Structure 1
């Protein structure tokens, strides 16, 4: 059971009312996370801005979804993990590669290096080395793509942490089964 109620444009106040009203008018509805984030206009507004900004990222979406899967497998948000696995499948990523992403890797060494960077940004960004960045450049990644990894991870930390705090799960029940699969 969720720990926080969903808000609607009628039940939200202030800036959240405006943000939800705009989203509902544009899309017809909003998901549980967005409706629940509306308790904090700062969190909702920040999420929407970062999400829009990352929509303009140059990092290949097939890679960013695998980074997201790896991060969510660590963070333990079943709702986010399900969403990113679904997006990966929609992009044509096969089941073996999705499983590798759960484990924080890829069959492609260049993609594996970027997933590893994403997990390092998530767990211990102070340990990133000049050699790692040079290796990513040697794989052909631009500084922009490398920097985009931080945005992908940041968006996942925000959404996953919020969903876990709010008790939002894929099936609407408390998230007692979704735990990190790798330490």
Structure 2
């Protein structure tokens, strides 16, 4: 059961009202997470900006979805995990790779290395070494792709933590 109320353009105030009205006019509706984030204009605006920015990430979406699956498996946000699994499937990631992502790995060593980096960013960024970054480059990952992983993890931490605090679960969301 949600812990925080869902807001609408009619019930939100100030910047949140304006953001929700804009999103509703563009998309027809807002999902529970976005509508609930509207309690904090700073959180809602920050989420929207980071989400848009990460939409321009260099990292292939089939890889970034696996990164998100790995992070959300650890974080425990079922709503986010379901969304990222669905997105991975839509991009052609097979079930074995989705299962591997849940385990924090991949059959492809280059993807496994980027997932490992993401999980270290999530758990303990101080453990990342120069050698690890060099190995990522040897796999063909650019500095931009490596940096994008940090953004992907940050976006997942924000959305997952928010959903967990707000009590949003699968079935309660009516779209993002």
Smaller-chain TM-score range? Answer: over 0.9
1:127-146, aligned counterparts within 5 Å? 127-146=127-146
Q: How far 1:54 sits from its partner (Å)?
A: 0.3
What is the match of residue 44 of structure 2? 44
Helix, strand or coil at the partner of 1:141: coil
Structure 1 residue 4 corresponds to structure 2 residue 4? yes
What is the match of residue 179 of structure 1? none
Instruction: Work out whether residues 70 and 102 of structure 2, in 8 Å CA contact, stay in contact via their aligned partners in 1.
Output: yes
What is the match of residue 23 of structure 1? 23
Task: Kindly report the root-mean-square deviation, in angstroms, between the aligned alpha carbons of the 2 structures.
Answer: 0.9
Helix, strand or coil at the partner of 1:172: coil
Helix, strand or coil at the partner of 1:30: coil
**Equivalenced residues, count:** 173
TM norm structure 1: 0.93
Structure 1 residue 61 corresponds to structure 2 residue 61? yes
- Segments of 4+ in structure 1 off by > 6 A? none
- Deviations 1:62-106 (CA, angstroms, capped at 9, x unpaired): 000000000000000000000000000000100000000000000
Instruction: Work out whether residues 32 and 172 of structure 2, in 8 Å CA contact, stay in contact via their aligned partners in 1.
Output: no
Structure 1 residue 101 corresponds to structure 2 residue 97? no
Q: How far 1:130 sits from its partner (Å)?
A: 0.1
Where in structure 2 are there 5+ consecutive unaligned residues?
none
Counterpart-to-counterpart distance in 2, 1:44 and 1:141:
31
TM norm structure 2: 0.97
Counterpart-to-counterpart distance in 1, 2:90 and 2:172:
23
Q: How far 1:172 sits from its partner (Å)?
A: 3.2
